[in-house]
Structure 1
Amino acid sequence: MGHREDLLEGAKRCLLEKGFLRTTARDIVKESGTNLASIGYHYGSKAELLVQAYISLIEGVGEQFDPGLGGTVTQPPRSLERFREVWTSIIRTVPESRPVWLLSFELMFQDDRLDQVRKLLAEAQKESRAGLAALFSGVPEADLDQEAVETEGRLYQTLLNGLMVQWLFDPDSATTAEQLTEGLRRVIEGAGPG
C-alpha cells in the first residue's frame, strides 16, 4: 500500500477507536506509519481524510445490506417481501457495524465543532439515498430517476436512521424487520385508493 491508502486505513482505525473529535493528525500518522505532510498532500486536510475514512466505513457497512449476498434468491423488487428481506439483512449487520453507527451519531450531535466535516458528509448523504433506493427497488443506481432518489431514498434513509437509534439504544426492544413490514402493510391498507 502507498501512503494514501495507509492514511485512509489508519484514519479508519482511529475513527473507530477515538471518534471524530478526539482523533488528531498525529494519531493518524502514528497509526498509519506515514508523516504529517502526507495528509495535506493526499487529502488536503485532516477533516477531508476523516470524511473519506468515514465514507469508506459506511460503504463497507452498506455493502452488507444486500440480501442477495451469498447467492440467496431475493424477493421481487418493491414488494413487501423485498422490504422485509432487506430490513432483515440490514438488522443482521448491526452487531458488527455498531462502532460505525456510533460514529455516525457522534457526528449528528456535534454543532459547529465539525462544521467542515458535516458539510462534506451532507454531500455523501445523496449517494446514500440513491444506494438505498436501488436496494429496495431493484433498479440499478444509474437507472434511478432523481424523484425516486429524493422520495424513496429519503424514506429509507429516515427509517434506517431511526432503526439504528433503536438498535444502538436497546437491541432487546428494537423494531424487527417483521414489525416494520407489518406496520407498512397496515399503513398501505389504511391509505385506501388514491
Structure 2
Amino acid sequence: MGHREDLLEGAKRCLLEKGFVRTTAREIVKESGTNLASIGYHYGSKDALLVEAFVGLIEPMGEVFEVPPGTGSADAGDLERFRAVWANVIRTFPEFRAIWMLNLEVITQGERLAQVRELLAKAQREGRSGIAALFTGIEESELPDDVIDTEGRLYSTLLNGLMVQWLFDPDSATTADQLTEGMRRVMRRAATTA
C-alpha cells in the first residue's frame, strides 16, 4: 500500500476508536505510519480524509442491507421487501455500532465539524439514491430523480430515526415487523381516504 491507502486505513481505525471530534492528524499519522505532509498532499485536509474514511466505512454496509433476489417484487409498495430491508438494517446496529455512532456524532456535533458536515451533506444524495434502490428493487443507476428526491428522502428519514432509537435503547427500539405494520396501516388509511 502507498501513503494514500495507509492514511485512509489509519483514519478508519481512528474514526472507529475516537470518532470525528477526537481524531487528530497526528493520531492518523501515527496509526498509518505516514507523515503529516501526506495528509495535505493526498487529501487536502484532515477533514477531507476523515470524510473519505467515513464513506469507506459506510459503503460496505449497503451490501448488508440488500435483500436476496426474489424477496418481494420490485414494486416500492411491496411490504415484504420493506420488512426484509429494515430487518437487514436493524441487524447491523449491534455489529456496526461504532459506525452508526459516527453517524450520530456528525448529526449532534455538526457545528464543531463544519467542513465534515459540508462534505457529507454533498454525499447525501448518493445515500438517498442507494437506499431508494434497496427498497424499490430498481438498479441505482436507473432510478429517476423524482424517486430519489421523494422515496429516497422518506427512507433516509426513517433510517435516521431508527438509528437513534437503536443506539439509545435497543430493547425498546422499533422492530422491522412493527415498522412494516405501521406502514401497512398508513397505506390502508391513505387508500380509504383517497
Question: Where in structure 2 are the equivalents of 1:23-62 lying within 5 Å?
Answer: 23-62=23-62
Confirm whether residue 4 of structure 1 aligns to residue 1 of structure 2.
Answer: no
Partner secondary structure for residue 64 of structure 1? helix
Task: Report deviation, 1:67.
Answer: 2.0
Letter in 2 for 1:33: G
d(CA) in 2 for partners of 1:186, 1:111: 35
Confirm whether residue 145 of structure 1 aligns to residue 155 of structure 2.
Answer: no
d(CA) in 1 for partners of 2:63, 2:37: 32
Letter in 2 for 1:101: W
d(CA) in 2 for partners of 1:111, 1:86: 28
Partner secondary structure for residue 125 of structure 2? helix
d(CA) in 1 for partners of 2:21, 2:7: 18
Partner secondary structure for residue 76 of structure 1? coil
How many residues align? The count is: 191
State the Cα deviation string for residues 85-129 of structure 1 (Å, max 9, x = none). 111111111111111111111111124321111000001111000
Question: 1:63 maps to which residue?
Answer: 63
* Percent identity of paired positions between Structure 1 and Structure 2: 66
Structure 1: gaps spanning 5 or more residues:
none
Structure 2: gaps spanning 5 or more residues:
none
Question: 1:132 maps to which residue?
Answer: 131
| TM-score, length of structure 2 as denominator length | 0.95
State the Cα deviation string for residues 161-182 of structure 1 (Å, max 9, x = none). 0001111111111101000000
Task: Report deviation, 1:74.
Answer: 2.1
| TM-score, length of structure 1 as denominator length | 0.95
Question: Where in structure 2 are the equivalents of 1:135-174 lying within 5 Å?
Answer: 135-174=134-173
Task: Report deviation, 1:192.
Answer: 2.0
Alignment RMSD (CA, Å): 1.1
